[in-house]
Amino acid sequence: MEDASLKVIFSEILRGFTLVETRSHGKIKIKHFTNFDSAELDIKNKLFLDKAINQGLPTREDRVEYLLKENIWTEEKNKQILQSKSMLAGLKNSKSKVFLQSHIDGINKQIQEEQLKLLELETEKEELIGFCAENYASRRINEFYMFNAILNTDGGKLFESEDFEDLDETELVDLIGIYNKSTKKFGSENLKKISLSGFFTNLFYLCKDNAFTFFGKPLVQLTFYQIELFGYGRYYKSLMENSETKVPDDVKEDPEKLVEWFDSTKSARETLEKSKNAGQDGSATSLVGATKKDLQRLGLDNPDETINLAKKAAEKGGRLNMEDMMKLHGM
């Protein structure tokens, strides 16, 4: 996504709402929810679920029990789902411990294949379970969510409760479509990209990890998007602070590649340290299988390029601020 588009998303996150132009209702606001809103939704969800069960709809657990009893679904497939999830967790853990790009690429391919396998199994199971009490509660809570999230430009609810209840299926589907389209851009991928963008970091590194200083309100009043963005900001800032090697230009603004690069450089240095402690060479050439390109990527092809944080801090009077850190990493 273009930098300009990310700036728009960032401004909407700061405001706590999104303005949308619609054909049927003119300009409306889409409210970004907070923990207070979520608590109300949880209470409503319990009421909707109880209502569905009282009306005779089977629960998800009931349906799974029936499918197993009739041998439509098997315990073996349940085990396959658990094994697949365990395999994914293991692969992700393994990826954080390797440093050769060829190994990382190989593990990424395995992860994609395993994710597809898991998706197929879970999709098959969900189709067999069918409509249950939890589905009913989920549908009703989505409608309640729409009712509370869609506001007029003054900040009041767009519909009275009775008017909302009278909406036909077509009108309701149209509103859900408007909401989904306007909030899709707030996915984790875009929020991670924002947290690495200059327009964000220029502000974020001045707040000294203080959410109130950054957003101007207490943590409990922040929207979920604001909390998530702030968390990513702290996480990637921590990576920068703990990296001893300059971040390559091709990974600086790519969240996934940055994490991969940080994990691999950390793993490579740990391997070299163990080699030294064992009385072995301990130089970059002792990394078995590492090509020149791997060493360049890890910042190990030239010892002079390594960032000695303690030495740099001493030169600055004992402490490095975030501006110093960014300069060290070429940002």
C-alpha 9/C-alpha 180 separation (Å) is: 15
Which tokens is 39 given?
């608590």
28 and 166, same domain (yes or no): yes
169 and 305, same domain (yes or no): no
pLDDT band at 300 (very low <50, low <70, confident <90, very high): low
230, part of any domain: yes
Task: List Cβ neighbours of 289 (8 Å cut-off, separation of 6 or more).
Answer: 100, 102
Asked which of 185, 202, 237 is the last residue of a domain, the reply is: 185
Q: Residue 145 burial by CB count (10 A; 0-12/13-18/19+): exposed, middle or buried?
A: middle
Asked which of 131, 151, 185 is the last residue of a domain, the reply is: 185
Residue-wise pLDDT tens digits, 172-223: 888 888 999 999 999 999 999 999 998 999 999 999 899 999 999 999 999 9
97, part of any domain: yes
Contact assessment for residue 299 and residue 305, using Cβ atoms and an 8 Å cutoff: yes
Identify the domain containing residue 208 by its residue range.
189-328
C-alpha 61/C-alpha 28 separation (Å) is: 40
Residue-wise pLDDT tens digits, 232-266: 999 999 888 877 777 777 787 888 888 888 888 88
Over residues 103-109, the mean pLDDT reads 91
pLDDT score, position 21: 92
121 and 221, same domain (yes or no): no
Torsion of CA 93, 98, 104, 108, to 10 degrees: -10
Q: Is the pLDDT of residue 154 over 70?
A: yes
14, part of any domain: no
Query: Among 233, 323, 249, which Cα is nearest to 10's?
Result: 233
179 and 194, same domain (yes or no): no
The residue type of 238 is S
Residue-wise pLDDT tens digits, 26-70: 999 999 999 999 888 999 999 999 999 999 999 999 999 999 999
Asked which of 151, 185, 219 is the last residue of a domain, the reply is: 185
18, part of any domain: no
Coil vs helix vs strand at 85: helix
Domains: count for the chain: 2
38 and 123, same domain (yes or no): yes
Residue-wise pLDDT tens digits, 118-153: 999 999 999 999 999 999 999 999 889 889 999 999
230 and 304, same domain (yes or no): yes
C-alpha 212/C-alpha 221 separation (Å) is: 10
C-alpha 260/C-alpha 248 separation (Å) is: 12
107, part of any domain: yes
pLDDT score, position 299: 67
pLDDT score, position 304: 45
Q: What's the length of the chain?
A: 331
Contact assessment for residue 298 and residue 234, using Cβ atoms and an 8 Å cutoff: no
17, part of any domain: no
36 and 117, same domain (yes or no): yes
- Packing angle of the helix pair 169-183, 133-149 (nearest 10 deg): 70
pLDDT score, position 194: 95
DSSP symbols for 225-249: HHHHHHHHHHHHHHHHHH-SSPPPT
- Please indicate whether residue 310 or residue 109 has the higher confidence score (pLDDT): 109
pTM of the model: 0.77
C-alpha 165/C-alpha 147 separation (Å) is: 9
301 and 216, same domain (yes or no): yes
Task: List Cβ neighbours of 11 (8 Å cut-off, separation of 6 or more).
Answer: none
109 and 247, same domain (yes or no): no
109 and 214, same domain (yes or no): no
40 and 150, same domain (yes or no): yes
Q: Is the pLDDT of residue 310 over 70?
A: no
103, part of any domain: yes
34 and 106, same domain (yes or no): yes
Contact assessment for residue 106 and residue 154, using Cβ atoms and an 8 Å cutoff: no
264, part of any domain: yes
